[in-house]
Amino acid sequence: MPEHTFRVNGEQVTVDVAGDVRLLWVLRDILGITGPKYGCGINVCKACTSHLNGKAVNPCAIPVQDLQPTDEVTTIEGLAATVGRDLHPMQQAWLDHDVAQCGYCQPGQIMAAVALVRRVAAEGRSITDADLDGLRNICRCGTYPRIREAIRAGAEDM
């Protein structure tokens, strides 16, 4: 099988796997990184949301062959390291606003929120209701009001 090299949470990795294997399975089954959750496998639920070169992506939809050695994948496990703290400000906001209920979708929710806040900040503006409405991560427990509050609070500290 071919080897594929890329970066995950600041570390260079090489995996020996068929090129059409989705990044989600490489992360979870080969590298043992279980923060990105398997929810649907068809790029709908967003439970696996992670960052690829700083942008929110869904690893269930990315064949590992599409990654380059310079590509940086960040999962929830590596998020805090991006700011040099024990917790990223968005993770802290999640705790402060008691967002998690079952917790299954939370890694993907947090990763999507961080990418949104970064994008909006780069555009020189604040988070709007329309921005929050644009997030498509599914929460089966329905904690959307707390998620929205936490994103606004986390954005203030980012």
Instruction: Supply the pLDDT for residue 1.
Output: 77
Architecture of domain 81-157: Orthogonal Bundle (1.10)
Q: At 153, list the tokens.
A: 């609070």
Q: How does strand 72-74 pair with strand 3-8?
A: parallel
Whole-angstrom distance, CA of residue 55 vs CA of residue 88: 16
* Amino acid code (one letter) for 53: N
Q: Domain coordinates of the chain in residue numbers? A: 3-79, 81-157
DSSP state of 60: G
Positive/negative CA dihedral, 4, 6, 9, 10: positive
pTM of the model: 0.94
In the chain, which residues have pLDDT < 70?
A: none
Mean pLDDT for the chain overall: 96
Four-way CATH pick for 3-79: 3.40.50.720, 3.10.20.30, 3.40.50.12780, 3.90.1150.10 = 3.10.20.30
Instruction: Supply the pLDDT for residue 75.
Output: 98
**Please, is 42 exposed, middle or buried when counting C-beta atoms within 10 Å of its C-beta (0-12, 13-18, 19+)?**
exposed
